[in-house]
Amino acid sequence: MNKQLPAKLKSILLILFILLQLAANILYAQPNTSINRIYWSTLGYYIISNTSNTNTPIGKFGTSAGIGIEIQKNRLLLQSGLEIEYYSSIMNMGDTSMTKTLYDSDGDEYTGNFTFSNIKETQKILNIGIPLLIGYKSRKRFYFLAGEKIAFNVYCKNHSSSTVNTTGTYNNLIGNNNNGTLSYIPSHGLTDENRYITKKTNIKTQFISSIELGWALKKQTHYQHLKHKDKNKPIYRIALFFDYGIAPFNKNKTDELIVSSSQDYYIPTISNLLYFNNKTTILNSIYTGIKITVILHNKRNCHCYD
């Protein structure tokens, strides 16, 4: 069932996006319709999560900037365009441990004991998004928009960090605890160490549902009714928005949690929490915050502001 879920959601969202695009074409073909250039910027809280029961997403921040058009027919609104999105999120994980059979420089076999703590990963994501939103504006300058966005991942880098405690257990030694275990011998790598690893990865096409509620800072007026000095002045809007996104991924390509950060020696390091131990093949994201929109008047004859 989980493997079929992303395909079903993808089909539904694609159909919805096509229907909204069709509505835009029909709306613009009608009389008494205006089209204006718009610019926007957002800033807010962003979090990306998976379905692993071992990870805790914390989130961080996001920002975006875009350019597009807004079609108005009477009080109906329809927006589309192109935006650049940058997000950063944090994911934590509880302590974990592992053992591995190794050989020292003398060729003697021992068991390496590794305990990982302070595990944290920061994801940095850059997308190009295409929004398609439809809405309504009131005479009191309030407005709302809702619709879908498609986001294409351009860049994603995961920076993982952890504190690693390393001990070694020999069968033919008494050791520190009378069980053959040696600890805190830095020259042999038996110590506490902060380790880091940065890895580029890729997020598949994301499908985002968006809602926006805001207020125009001044009332929009028909272009022909404006005073000459005001004809080139933009209209500003401020809004609160909420985006919920999903991104399917191939579970067969799930990354290993622990990798070696050296090719010459076994130096285990926590890597890539984002794709580890997921129950389904979907990543989820939430982005919410403040949006500023700038609207430039169009000279086309329309009574959209009355």
pLDDT in tens, 184-204: 887 777 889 999 988 888 888
Instruction: Express each pLDDT in 98-128 by its tens digit.
Output: 998 888 777 888 888 999 999 999 999 999 9
Kindly give, in sequence order, each residue whose CB lies less than 8 Å from that of residue 107, ignoring residues fewer than 6 positions away: none
Confidence of residue 145 (pLDDT cuts 50, 70, 90): very high
Number of H helices, E strands in the chain: 1, 14
Please choose, from the candidates 97, 48, 34, the residue with its C-alpha nearest in 3D space to the C-alpha of residue 278. Answer: 48
Confidence of residue 298 (pLDDT cuts 50, 70, 90): low
Asked whether 268 and 254 are in contact (CB, 8 A), the reply is no
Dihedrals phi, psi of 60, to nearest 5 degrees: -155, -100
Confidence of residue 264 (pLDDT cuts 50, 70, 90): low
Q: How far apart are the first and last CA of the chain?
A: 52
Residue 207 has pLDDT above 60, yes or no: yes
* Whole-prediction pTM: 0.80
Computed over every residue of the chain, the mean pLDDT equals 81
